[in-house]
A = this chain, B = another copy of it.
Amino acid sequence: MKVLDDLWHFAKKTRRLRLGPVALHYHFRRRAPLVSNWWLQRQQQIFRSLVTRDIPSMQTDSEFCSERAAAAPLAVIIGAGQGFGFALLEKLAHQGFHVIAVARNASRLQPLFHQLTRLQLKVTLYSCDATDEIAMQRLFNMIEQQFGVPDLVVYSVQYFSPGRAMTIELPAFEEGWRNNCLGGFITARTAGRQMTARGQGSIILVGSTSSLFARADHLNLAVGKFGLRALAHVLAQELWPVGIHVAHLVIDAEIDEGVPGDLTRPKADPAHIANAVLYLHQQPQDSWTCEMDLRPRTEQFWQHC
């Protein structure tokens, strides 16, 4: 398998083909096909129906997936596959949101999905690469057609591979920026355009310690997170007047991902961070927050990644 790994590593690097006065730049990326659980389920149902000769119940399916409850606000979480995004999804669903959970590989979320849908909560999963503009546009178009314009969009992707600036490889550096910053831009712009037409909505960009402090060994996190902060500030000044609440939530904490027995240091309950997202979303228009930080009370300040 090491041969394949090396080959893949080789294929990921950007290469150039000189063609006279221009050059073709290219590299390979893993495809994160835009797949919704709606289609997965449909496939499973069709498969099951083929096996059991049972006609799939369209009603049930559409009930929790392709239709949005009239009163339910719509939330989209980009980066739902990670600790905090995962908990945010659960929290918002319990609060009555119809939640669209987007992850690079949403299949990891299937168990949660089944658990939530059993509780009659509205959750839809999509696999989509947030740094892929075309896929994201298609995703948001699909969301708008099926469920409407989102009320709340959270960008919670974090990519961190520690390393010294002198040894870090360029693809890792670029990949850090693409996930920590570019994906935030694509998300905010795609969602922002839909929300502008409606004149309302919230876009929360999730930062970390490295959004404010760029320290040794944190290069490919800090460059992206500093950029995401710049993005949040610019967007706030451009979109608040339109009615869209852009905010930057700085999580200076380790997030409790439920690993049992791990009591080495204080952790923030992701459900409580989700509360902060909800609070920001619900602020009245004359008192909006652009930036706030969060950490456990027993935590040291600004020591996280």
Contacts and interface: CB of A to CB of B under 8 A. Distances in A.
Interface of A: 11, 14, 16, 18-31, 132-134, 164-166, 168, 170, 173-174, 177, 181-182, 185-186, 188-189, 192-193, 196, 210, 213-219, 222-227, 229-241, 243, 245, 253, 256, 266-269, 272-273, 275-276, 279, 283-301
A173 B27 CA distance: 19
A13 B41 CA distance: 35
A232 B213 CA distance: 11
Q: Is the interface of A mostly helix, strand, loop or mixed?
A: mixed
Given A30-B21, A223-B231, A269 B293 contact: no
Could you say how many copies of this chain the assembly holds?
Answer: 4
Given A215-B237, A216-B234, A268 B286 contact: yes
Contact of A11 (B22, B133, B231, B269): B22
A301 B232 CA distance: 13
Contacts of A11: 22
Contacts of A14: 133
Contacts of A285: 296-297
